[in-house]
Amino acid sequence: MSQRRTLILIAAVVVGILAAFLVWNYTKGIQDEAYSDAERVKVYLVDTQIARGTPGNLAMQAIVEEQIPRKFKPANAIESLDDIAGQVARTDLVPNQVVVADMFVAAGDPDAIVSAADKITKVRNVDMTTFTVTASSDNAVAGLIAPGDYVNVLVKSFATAVSGAAGSTPTDDGEQPAATVSDPQARYVYQKAQVLFVGTTSVEQAGATPPPAEGAAAPVASSTQITLLLPVQATQILASLPPESIYFSLVSKDFEPKPTGEIEISPPPAENPQILTPYGPTGARGND
């Protein structure tokens, strides 16, 4: 009985090997038939991604030589890497693209120029613009805001800022007159606005910056320029406010905006047993 099982097992293995060989031979035959009349010619393929504006001399390092059937070779495929020397990539190039002549253009070609405006994309299918304000570290989360972050936009002494008291005509001695503040409250003008640039640093550039050495403190800017990505009307509103009155508060990416309004600060929250802390009477950690 054991010998019979062994013979059956051997037969099954032989049949499996034979079937695998027949499948391989059939597949190879189809491939050989497909390419039997196709002369293979040299082309240049993109091996790793090439960013728009990359000089041709650098792009050569990301391009490899390959052989493909002649019928698949584009008519305008480059014949030599020298064909792209002194030029720049017209668009972003992705792996396995055959390099053709019109992928590279003269360095001054407008299509190849990388501009900060390329980073201004539509939000919810609405055209965007930018708003930049130079803020001190006190107004901008101690300089911790980074490109790609979201911030709430707070205006100090909102009623005064909106009424234009902060922009009153200077007195004869050049000093600003004291403003009469009828409503000292700060108010949020916008919530969860997207930060496009900090200074001239974009999201991509910030991500490429190596982290500080272990144990080293991250540098803190004493003053920074914050550029927000906003609809046109929002830009107009923020530009109408005194920049020194604008404060940014950092929020998480999953922060959910909710309407805010005037606040009651008399008596102070710490004297109200229903409030006491910013997180409620039991504090941030409850009864832990």
pLDDT tens track for 168-177: 455 555 554 5
Residues 75-79 have a mean pLDDT of: 94
For residues 173 and 248, what is the distance between their CA atoms, to the nearest angstrom? 33
At residue 115, the pLDDT reads 77
Please indicate whether residue 247 or residue 219 has the higher confidence score (pLDDT): 247
Task: Note if the bond before 267 is cis, omega within 30 degrees.
Answer: yes
pLDDT at 165 (0 to 100): 45
Is residue 68 scored above 80 in pLDDT? Answer: yes
Give pLDDT tens digits for 105-127: 998 888 778 777 778 888 999 99
Bridging pattern class, strands 223-230 and 187-198: antiparallel
Question: What is the per-residue DSSP string for 102-137?
Answer: GGEEETT-GGG---GGGG---BTTB--EEEEEEEET
Of the candidates 255, 264, 283, 267, the residue with the CA atom closest to the CA atom of residue 194: 255
Q: Supply the pLDDT for residue 10.
A: 77
Domains of the chain: 40-112 (3.90.1210.10), 118-167+179-207+220-253 (no CATH)
Q: Please give the helix or strand (H or E) that residue 43 lies within, else none.
A: strand 40-46
Strand partners, 136: 223
* Average pLDDT value for the chain: 82
Per-residue pLDDT at 180: 43
Global pTM reads: 0.61
pLDDT of 149 strictly over 90: yes
Residues 229 and 194: beta-carbon distance below 8 Å: yes
For the segment 80-106, the average pLDDT, to the nearest whole number, is 93
Write the pLDDT tens digit of every residue in 6-27: 777 777 777 778 777 777 777 7
